Amino acid sequence: MSHSITRMISAIAPIYDPVIEWFLHGEEKVRKRMADRIPDFERGLDIGCGTGTFLEALRKRGGGELYGLDISKRMLRVAKRKHRGMEFVRGSALCLPFRDSSFDAVFSTMMMHHLTHEERVAALKEIRRVLRPEGAYYSLEFGEEGLDRIGRAVTGLGYLHESEAQGFEVGEKEAWEKGLVWRALHRK
């Protein structure tokens, strides 16, 4: 866990949920909105799942097998305590501990800004590798525009650029509140 923002988030794992609720102003609504935008899938992976709240929204919606991966032991400790019936795995987005073509949906919410440009390129390559040919990657991430003061402070390492997603086609794209951008990237 090399970046200071990742270390800081990991350190606040036990209070991450109230912090993110404060940031999103009504987390449940935002998570539901994300979950409702994802078509049915058999096996889904949330990269940088944190405390697993998005996976819980997906479970409530109903759907396939759920996996959460995070680099932070502390985040996963909270996630495992809160959620049963999902698989949580410790690992890095840069080297996913899964076989080729093992998921039909991969998601990440507010994780990509923890990575440098080179790391995002590597992570997107890994995401493409673990996706089935018809699969898609769904991302909620800060965009360059519309960031408020807090958004600017937390996106020190940069934003997700579509040019970094080699081998994907950009599908649905929407600007959300807090400078966040929702994107569906379909594996080509």
Ligand X SMILES: C[S@@+](CC[C@H](N)C(=O)[O-])C[C@H]1O[C@@H](n2cnc3c(N)ncnc32)[C@H](O)[C@@H]1O
Give the footprint of ligand X on this chain (CB under 6 A). Answer: 6, 9-10, 20, 47-50, 53-54, 70-72, 75, 92-94, 109-111, 114
Q: How far apart are CA 166 and CA 171, in angstroms?
A: 14
Q: In the complex with ligand X, which residue's Cβ is closer, 18 or 188?
A: 18
91 CB-near residues (< 8 Å, 6+ apart): 69, 70, 71, 97
Q: In the complex with ligand X, which residue's Cβ is closer, 38 or 109?
A: 109
Q: In the complex with ligand X, which residue's Cβ is closer, 75 or 127?
A: 75
Distance of closest approach, residue 114 Cβ to ligand X, in angstroms: 4
Q: How far apart are CA 142 and CA 33, in angstroms?
A: 16
Distance of closest approach, residue 134 Cβ to ligand X, in angstroms: 24
Q: In the complex with ligand X, which residue's Cβ is closer, 50 or 135?
A: 50
Distance of closest approach, residue 53 Cβ to ligand X, in angstroms: 6
Distance of closest approach, residue 169 Cβ to ligand X, in angstroms: 24
| Contact predicate 151/98, CB 8 Å | no
105 CB-near residues (< 8 Å, 6+ apart): 38, 39, 41, 43, 44, 45, 64, 135, 136, 137, 138
Distance of closest approach, residue 94 Cβ to ligand X, in angstroms: 6
| Contact predicate 110/34, CB 8 Å | no
Q: In the complex with ligand X, which residue's Cβ is closer, 129 or 134?
A: 129
